[in-house]
């Protein structure tokens, strides 16, 4: 049960004065929650500040500056009746320059009352030069002398969504701050005192009602306190999950290694040093009487699937079963294609189970699973549906874990008795983020590429030379080569992504005919598979795609990757996409098409990609370049899964949070002491309450 003291913070936003159902929908979009609550608004951090302490003269105002200026109202210029949609302008001045205030869809009587001619008014907003003249469109404040005396001199600016204004958000925030209850302190008191942290409620007041600009800076005491709260909630949830998984005694799966030897004998190459090391770690873990929780992270094409199969062979030899869960059907089928010939050579019985399997075919697979006639099942989230039962599941291998929630990870492990867990990720993750996402796991890394992997010639080309690129692709097609052409992510709208891909497909299809194919996320699974199969077989030679091909697509004959608008992609994502080529014997090329002029960050990003193919270095550089932003595929500011914490400022606190969480659970495993009870509040506030259910007592 949620502690009663938190109820005011978990009330709907519509309980705040002035927030009706229409505004609730807009807040839902802004805060990423269908029915936003008071706490969601309180954790929505300011992105900037309006500082009214200095009031420049108009001659000193810079283009794009957010200013508060004192001006005299000179004249009103309403639009002519014939042009009702034209803006309404009000000319103002001080003794140094003129400022035009511009309003759209404005009422004349309202503006005449707000800005009477001959009077002095204080206006606040972004000043810009237009045709050499200073103007301000829709000032966010227009007040007289008395109104100005009542204005806060320092005011936060928030990220907004269409339809929400700063004034509306600030009024709602006032209502939310008034709801803050007096909560017990969950931080270690000595630590909080040493760091000079204010209390939780005081920190929120400092950030949302700043008295000076520094109050909203990520390095301020108040902001850092809130970031550390969030990091501690995340680390405590992971520590509880780890304790829960480890609490049930494991069942050691020891084997002589006969199956493992057969799999390795069937491989066309020897394992790399790091693959061998990872295999040793996993085999040792599996033999222990406690549950394995291990993350295997490797660069694109470093051979994670083979390590996973060797791990599976150890439990299969002990007479038990293994499952590999992938986030997409394409990836599940890709794993099957890699594993099937090796499994056959070793006598391992493999099956595929996806959401597409229906009726008798699906029933037959489920029957064989429960009877133990299948040793290894590969599938999508269809694997953890209720009607899927195993004879004796010993090992769950989860691919691209960050695309599955903790609940899904738990659901799969509950399909057996004391199931060991191996998580694979092809996105090399900076060390700070490994703690954030996988703090509950041991880590193995695959640093080398298997023998036979080709270096990739990476080049940057301006988009205005696209005709040259198309000619080069034409020559490659004539030589029998295969190429990918990836179209960009445009904002967060799949519709626009799709339009970009479809437009490029139509244009290239017109030129190269049936040799061009298309694949995108909105296609049905069967259509995607068919398009991939045509490309893999060489029936099509140019595959136009959205980022659906980013993970796991493996066509060794493809040697060219064209990425359009490369400046819009994150470094890690560009590296993933580039890794779709260089998998066979042919010389591979990656062409990064960019639209100039490039900003500093985009320039640095493309330069690193040209210099390096080391995914681990690229991931660290990506984190530095983005600061905020997320390397793991979700799109929000802060560390992945976090609203507040910023890696460049708060990353150093992650290990402190991890150590504190571990210490708390050593002393108080059920969170029953006064601090433990307060930490339960913390878990609820930051949406980690699932972890509370894992405590034996609760």
**What are 194-211's pLDDT values in tens digits?**
999 999 999 999 999 999
Q: What is the pLDDT of residue 580?
A: 86
pLDDT in tens, 501-558: 888 899 999 999 999 999 887 788 788 888 888 998 999 999 998 876 655 567 889 9
Q: For residues 571 and 429, what is the distance between their CA atoms, to the nearest angstrom? A: 12
Residues 229-255 as b/e (b if ≥16 CB within 10 A, e otherwise) read bbbbbbbbbbbbbbbbbeeeebbbbeb
Task: Classify domain 258-446 at the CATH superfamily level.
Answer: P-loop containing nucleotide triphosphate hydrolases (3.40.50.300)
How buried is residue 295: exposed, middle or buried, by Cβ count under 10 Å (0-12/13-18/19+)? buried
Q: How, if at all, do strands 542-545 and 516-519 pair?
A: parallel
Q: How far apart are CA 443 and CA 57, in angstroms?
A: 59
Contact in structure between 197 and 224 (CB atoms under 8 Å): yes
Q: Identify the bridge partners of residue 77 per DSSP, sorted by sequence position.
A: 89
Alpha carbon 688 to its chain's center = 17
Q: Are strands 376-379 and 516-519 parallel, antiparallel or unpaired?
A: unpaired
- Structure token digits, residue 398: 């989860």
Selection from 465, 179, 421, 227 nearest residue 324 by Cα: 421
Residues of the chain with pLDDT below 50 are: 490-494, 627-639, 696-698
Looking at the whole model, is its pTM more than 0.95? no
Q: Which two structure tokens, joined as six digits, stand for 476?
A: 């490659």
Q: CA 534 to CA 542: how far, in whole Å?
A: 10
Q: Does domain 54-151 have CATH number 2.40.160.60?
A: no
Which DSSP symbol is given to 87? P
State the pLDDT at residue 152: 85
Q: Where are the domains of the chain?
A: 54-151, 258-446, 456-612
With vertex at residue 546, the alpha carbon angle to CA 540 and CA 550, rounded to the nearest 5 degrees, is 90
Close Cβ partners of 644 (under 8 Å, ≥ 6 residues apart)? 43, 45, 223, 226, 227, 229, 230, 638
From 567, 575, 561, select the one nearest 619 (Cα to Cα).
575
| CA 126 to chain CA mean position, Å | 31
Q: What is the pLDDT of residue 66?
A: 83
- Per DSSP, what are the bridge partners of residue 352? 378
456-612: CATH architecture? 3-Layer(aba) Sandwich (3.40)
Cβ–Cβ < 8 Å for 98, 92: yes
Structure tokens at 697: 């007592």
CA dihedral angle for residue 462, residue 467, residue 468, residue 471, rounded to 10 degrees: 150
Residue pair 571/605 in contact by the 8 Å Cβ criterion = yes
pLDDT at 492: 43
Backbone Cα Rg of the chain? 29
CA 454, CA 462: separation in Å to the nearest integer?
25
Both tokens assigned to 468: 């040259």
CA angle 653, 658, 663 (to 5 degrees): 125
Across 24-169, the runs of DSSP E, i.e. the strands, are: 48-51, 65-77, 88-93, 98-103, 120-130, 133-137, 141-143, 154-157
472 contact partners, CB below 8 Å, separation of at least 6: none
**Domains 54-151 and 456-612 in one fold:** no
């Amino acid at each position: 049960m949620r502690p009663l003291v938190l109820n005011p913070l978990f009330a709907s936003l519509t309980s705040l004065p002035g927030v009706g159902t229409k505004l609730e929908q807009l807040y839902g979009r802004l805060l990423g929650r269908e029915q936003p609550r008071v706490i969601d608004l309180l954790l929505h951090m300011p992105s900037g500040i309006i500082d009214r302490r200095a009031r420049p003269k108009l001659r000193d105002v810079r283009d794009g500056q957010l200013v508060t200026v004192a001006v005299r109202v000179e004249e009103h210029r309403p639009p002519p009746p014939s042009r009702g949609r034209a803006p309404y302008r009000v000319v103002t001045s001080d003794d140094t320059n003129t400022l035009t205030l511009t309003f759209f869809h404005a009422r004349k009587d309202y503006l005449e009352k707000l800005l009477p001619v001959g009077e002095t008014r204080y206006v606040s907003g972004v000043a810009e030069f237009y045709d050499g003249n200073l103007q301000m469109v829709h000032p966010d404040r227009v007040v007289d002398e008395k109104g100005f005396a009542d204005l806060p001199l320092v005011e936060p600016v928030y990220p907004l969504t269409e339809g929400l204004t700063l004034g509306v958000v600030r009024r709602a925030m006032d209502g939310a701050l008034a709801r803050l209850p007096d909560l017990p302190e969950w931080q270690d008191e000595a630590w909080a005192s040493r760091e000079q942290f204010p209390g939780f409620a005081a920190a929120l007041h400092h950030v949302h009602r700043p008295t000076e600009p520094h109050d909203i800076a990520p390095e301020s005491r108040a902001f850092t306190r809130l970031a550390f709260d969030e990091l501690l909630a995340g680390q405590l949830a992971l520590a509880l999950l780890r304790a829960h998984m480890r609490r049930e005694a494991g069942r050691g799966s020891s084997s002589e290694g006969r199956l493992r030897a057969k799999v390795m004998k069937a491989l066309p190459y020897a394992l790399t040093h790091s693959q061998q090391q990872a295999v040793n770690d996993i085999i040792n873990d599996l033999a222990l009487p406690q549950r394995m929780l291990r993350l295997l992270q490797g660069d694109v094409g470093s051979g994670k699937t083979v390590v996973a199969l060797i791990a599976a062979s150890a439990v299969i030899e002990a007479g038990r079963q293994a499952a590999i869960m992938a986030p997409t059907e394409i990836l599940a089928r890709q794993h099957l294609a890699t594993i099937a010939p090796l499994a056959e050579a070793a006598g391992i019985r493999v099956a595929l189970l996806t959401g597409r399997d229906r009726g008798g075919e699906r029933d037959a697979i489920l029957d064989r699973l429960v009877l133990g006639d299948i040793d290894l099942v590969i599938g999508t989230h269809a694997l953890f549906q209720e009607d899927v039962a195993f004879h004796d599941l010993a090992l769950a291998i989860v691919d691209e874990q960050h695309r599955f929630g903790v609940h899904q990870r738990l659901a799969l492990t509950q399909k057996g008795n004391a199931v060991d867990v191996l998580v694979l990720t092809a996105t090399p993750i900076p060390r700070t983020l490994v703690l954030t996402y996988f703090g509950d796991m041991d880590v193995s890394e695959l640093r080398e590429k298997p023998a036979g992997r080709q270096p990739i010639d990476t080049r940057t080309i301006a988009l205005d030379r696209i005709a040259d690129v198309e000619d080069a692709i034409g020559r490659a097609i004539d030589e029998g080569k295969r190429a990918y052409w990836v179209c960009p992510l445009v904002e967060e709208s799949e519709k626009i992504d799709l339009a970009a891909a479809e437009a490029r497909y139509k244009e290239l299809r017109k030129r190269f005919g049936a040799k061009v194919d298309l694949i995108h996320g909105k296609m049905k699974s069967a259509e995607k598979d068919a398009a991939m199969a045509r490309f893999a077989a060489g029936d099509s030679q140019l595959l136009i795609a959205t980022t659906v091909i980013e993970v796991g697509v493996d066509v060794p004959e493809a040697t060219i990757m064209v990425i359009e608008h490369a400046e819009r992609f994150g470094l890690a994502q560009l590296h993933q996409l580039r890794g779709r080529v260089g998998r066979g014997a042919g010389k591979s090329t990656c062409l990064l098409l960019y639209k100039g002029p490039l900003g500093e960050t985009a320039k640095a990003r493309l330069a690193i990609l040209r210099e390096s193919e080391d995914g681990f270095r690229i991931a660290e550089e990506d984190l530095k370049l983005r600061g905020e932003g997320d390397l793991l595929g979700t799109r929000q500011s802060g560390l992945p899964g976090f609203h507040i914490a910023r890696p460049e400022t708060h990353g150093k606190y992650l290990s402190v949070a991890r150590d504190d969480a571990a210490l708390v659970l050593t002393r108080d495993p059920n969170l029953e002491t006064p601090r433990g009870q307060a930490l339960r509040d913390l878990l609820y506030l930051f949406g980690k309450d699932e972890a509370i259910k894992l405590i034996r007592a609760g």
